[in-house]
Structure 1
Amino acid sequence: MKRIAIFASGSGSNAENIIRYFQNNKKAEVVLVLSNNPNALVLERATKLGVKNLTFGKEQLNDSKWAVENLKNLDLIVLAGFLWKFPEHLLETYKNKVVNVHPALLPKYGGKGMYGMHVHKAVVENNEAESGITIHYVNEHYDEGAIIFQAKCSINKKDTPNDVAAKIHELEMKYFPEVVQQILSTDG
């Protein structure tokens, strides 16, 4: 059975969607949800779904001993709305096993500070005709890891950042769990 851990900082709708997707799967399961925000709704969602969860601070995340104790035997780490830069020691330990979903078509609208509504606002302000999601491997630079998958949606001239956010959320809900399963299926 493949083991998945999810890192999230906020409400956790993507995390919940992935947990539910794998609940009756015989090949993979979400075994742990981690958050840097002790008040994040994702922790409540994980508890309700019976998934172990824990919170941590920067010092813990950057401590390789803490990581060894808490991140054992994982096949994939999924960043689902996790806003901190992922530590290099974990990227080395889990080489090509850390993935993220970004709410734009990278390389556009990526980098430090480009997340959530910041991205959608920039897309609207620049009169983009389309946006989408990018699922990519995580490396030592924000949003620069190898692209695994992209899905697009059209943007109308009357769309607000909230309209764009709704379209992006729909793409995330549809594709993120499927792509996670594909990654695990092709990974030995």
Structure 2
Amino acid sequence: MKINRKVRLVQALYGSIILTVMMQPIGMLGYGSYIWMLFMPLLLFFAFGANFKIIPSMIVSYICGVAWALVNGVLAGLLGGLLPETMVNIAAPIIVIFCILTVHENFLAKTIVGNVPALFMGLASTFFSFLIVPANAPAITPVHLIGFFLYGILLSVILAGGGFAVCSLIFGKDKVIEVFEGK
């Protein structure tokens, strides 16, 4: 068996165990219906190449996305007195998304709040979580959303860093680096 396959198998075993064990506290605290939210930062982190340096911008931009979702709610409330509901549901998101793209993608693109994918993840998870509450699940707040995201980031760090460490102990650091660099 090639070293690449061995490293990936060990990493898969480590990841499956750690991920499963670390998801348990969410269920034990009564938020089992929201476990899916832990995977969102995990997906984003690995989509960015498991780059630890991008984590601060992921966190801050996600929080901005949650804030923009709240702005959308306030704007919808203001427009509700002026427009029919169907128009409010169109106008408010158009205005908010335009503002997000103008501010974060144009003016703040190279700053800590310029991570537009993480920002939209915050926006979308806020919309989704507040519009669709799973049966028998506790209601959550923006603080919960941010907490779930941060815990998902922690999972990402432990999966990437711990997986690398375990594989390095077994196969040697240089070989593992070669596998991850695609050599």
Structure with bigger strand share is 1
TM-score normalized with structure 1 length: 0.24
TM-score normalized with structure 2 length: 0.24
Could you say which structure has the larger radius of gyration? Answer: 2
Return the structure number with greater relative CO, CA threshold 8 A, min gap 6: 2
